[in-house]
Amino acid sequence: MIDPAPALFRPITLSGLKLANRIVIAPMCQYSARDGVAQPWHLQHLGSLAVGGAGLLMTEATAVEPEGRITLGCLGLYNDETEEALARTIAGIRSFSATPIGMQISHAGRKAASHVPWEGGGPLTAAEGAWQPSAPSPLANLDGWQTPEALDEAGLERIKAAFVATARRALRIGIDLLELHGAHGYLLHTFLSPLSNQRTDRYGGSRENRLRLPLEVFDAVRALWPADKPLGVRVSATDWLDGGLTIADTIAFGHELKARGVDYVCVSSGGIGRPRIPVGEGYQVPLARQFRAETGIATRAVGMIVDADHAERIVADGDADMVAFARAVIDNPRWPWHAAARLGAKLAYPPQYERGAPALWPGFGVAHG
């Protein structure tokens, strides 16, 4: 039987988790933690999005060790204090929303020890609290940035253990879905890209070697993370730079992930150096389309997707299985409600907000056209 609902509003099951629709609230760094500890801002930010009708709510990139934070304001899950704070945040959201909650876990690598964006985003100085970043090779993120320390074998083992420890804490606090951040110039991406990985050992050089650490991290987390809870990866499909990571590399990575039990991949791009990216509406969707077609992995598209009709076409045409939204839901936290009205889908509202639904508010058509 064909589901009559718009494609964007049809359920999807990832491993043992059923999402009510294909709309995902993407991870969005808030730079508002203190020593990695979640603050009231995180509850209001995530809580406001948790009642908007999306199928899945992702937390922001969450560091697996203090040195893995991008900034002093980045969220972490690496000790009891950070775990207790996030547990309270998740419990608070669960008290009023049944929306599944996913967590993206990350290590900033050579982009660590930076200023928050509204303070320029450049590297911190020692006086400002900078720490030593780490990376596959001693290559700075950009001119004027700190030269990172190349991880030795002990450092690589520490990183793998940190991802596993954070995954264990995420499991304890009841996270429904886990995502490894392998994109945007952060640590795992820098191992994948030949521009940032110039090692001569078994973790660098050939494509097989450059895939090694990200796959070892995935294997270690997969061994811990329950089979009935989805485990995904965010990738940068291309560096958009000559000599950098290509879609062919990412598809090869995808085949390896599929063999190891990945449940989905979120296809993004960029993050290494200063590429000239052809940013425009849905500019990364062709990458998601190609990745999905060649790997058969459930795929999430992201990047400059704003319009409900566009999002519907992405899913209906098979370009991706899910669509993630970030700035669009900062601008409009009720984006899923308005998309449902636009596409003729039914979407449940919290009872406190039902009076704002199209059927009960005569002004809805005036407000939204």
Q: Whole-angstrom Cα distance, residue 151 to residue 253?
A: 22
Question: In the prediction, which pLDDT does 368 show?
Answer: 86
Written as six digits, the tokens of 338 are: 């308005």
Residue 1 scores a pLDDT above 90: no
The pLDDT-based confidence of 369 (bands split at 50, 70, 90) is confident
Question: Tens digit of pLDDT for each residue in 52-91?
Answer: 999 999 999 999 999 999 999 999 999 999 999 999 999 9
Give the residue extent of every domain in the chain: 7-368
Measured CA distances, 100 to 14, 218, 316 (Å): 12, 22, 23
The residues that bridge with 11 in the sheet, in sequence order, are: none
Question: In the prediction, which pLDDT does 2 show?
Answer: 53
Question: Tens digit of pLDDT for each residue in 40-49?
Answer: 999 999 999 9
Question: In the prediction, which pLDDT does 4 show?
Answer: 77
Residue 136 scores a pLDDT above 70: yes
Note whether 122 and 114 are within 8 A (CB).
yes
| Domain 7-368 CATH class label | alpha beta
Give Cα 112 distance to the centre of its chain: 17
| pTM (two decimals) | 0.96
Percent of the chain with pLDDT over 90: 96
Task: Provide mean pLDDT across the span 10-21.
Answer: 97
Residue 3 scores a pLDDT above 80: no
Note whether 222 and 231 are within 8 A (CB).
yes
Note whether 239 and 195 are within 8 A (CB).
yes
Give, as one character, the DSSP assignment of residue 355: G
Residue 152 scores a pLDDT above 60: yes
Question: Tens digit of pLDDT for each residue in 243-281?
Answer: 999 999 999 999 999 999 999 999 999 999 999 999 999
Question: Tens digit of pLDDT for each residue in 98-117?
Answer: 999 999 999 999 999 999 99
Question: Tens digit of pLDDT for each residue in 195-225?
Answer: 999 999 999 999 999 999 999 999 999 999 9
Question: In the prediction, which pLDDT does 217 show?
Answer: 98
Catalytic residue numbers? Answer: 186
Higher pLDDT: 324 or 369? It is 324
Average model confidence (pLDDT) across the chain = 97
Question: In the prediction, which pLDDT does 140 show?
Answer: 97
The pLDDT-based confidence of 365 (bands split at 50, 70, 90) is confident
Question: In the prediction, which pLDDT does 162 show?
Answer: 98
Does an H or E element contain 207, and which?
helix 207-224
Note whether 17 and 24 are within 8 A (CB).
no
Question: In the prediction, which pLDDT does 238 show?
Answer: 98
